[in-house]
Each structure stands twice: as C-alpha cells, then as structure tokens.
Amino acid sequence: MNIAAAGAVEIHLLSVAPLMDDQASSVVDMYPVYVYRDYMVDPTSESERIKLGLQDYLDHVTRRIKAAGHEVVTAIRLGQPAEEIISYASESGCEVIVMSTHGRSGIGRWVYGSVADKVLRGSATPVLLVRVQEQAE
C-alpha cells in the first residue's frame, strides 16, 4: 500500500529520542560528583551525537521519498515520544499521522509501554498504524 502515490505530497519525518525520566536521573543525583565524574558524558555533546545519528537516518529515508516525487520535511525532538509526536502533528498541521508499530503485547507492552497506543488515544489528528514487517535474512 502506498498512501502517498496519488500525487506529490509533503511528508514530515519525525524522530524522537526519549529523555531519561526523572526517576532514573534522581539515582545519579544521589551519588557525589567525585564518584562518577570520570564516567559522565557531557549531556550537550551526547544529545548532539544522538541528533546527528537520527538526522543521518532521516536523510537516508528522505532521499528515497524525494526520488518518488514528494516533498520532505524532517524534524528531530528530544522528549517523551508520544507527547512529542502529538505536539508536532498539531503544530505542523499534519492531516494524518502514520506510524509503524511492533505490536508488543503482554510483558513487553507493560515494560516498554506503547507509543503508538498513546498517540492513537491522545491525538486529535487521525492515526494510521502499520505493523513492521520482519525482514527475511
């Protein structure tokens, strides 16, 4: 299925890197600086490294989409993925959110949560979920 095949459309590619939650960061705050300072990574340079990696991936996908004749806008955000996706779609005036989903259930869904489910339930923008297809090796 190719939902963009009807003509040239503007496609927004968004990648969200989750931030460390407050509970995890509070554990780091409990230890004195001298215990872990030699192992700490500068958060600014680490977030830049993450953004560069995400941008490389988005650039790769962008080339394929542009080759099909579509306009592409890329964006990278740091934060809680579902909240960032919903916010971006609203701010950008997107007509539909298309997401892939791994379809986790049971303990996997409990442990990892479901970004797709949160977006589906929390967004005023229509959401289309597409199951990830396993690649044959």
Per-domain residue ranges for the chain?
13-79, 93-137
In this prediction, residues 114-120 reach a mean pLDDT of: 88
pLDDT at 4: 58
In this prediction, residues 80-90 reach a mean pLDDT of: 95
What is the CA 129 to chain-centroid distance, rounded?
A: 14
Comparing CA positions, the residue from 34, 9, 14 lying closest to residue 92 is: 14
In this prediction, residues 22-39 reach a mean pLDDT of: 47
DSSP assignment, residue 125? Answer: S
In this prediction, residues 31-40 reach a mean pLDDT of: 50
Q: What pTM value is reported for the model? A: 0.72
**pLDDT band, residue 85 (cuts 50/70/90):** very high
Mean pLDDT, the chain, integer = 78
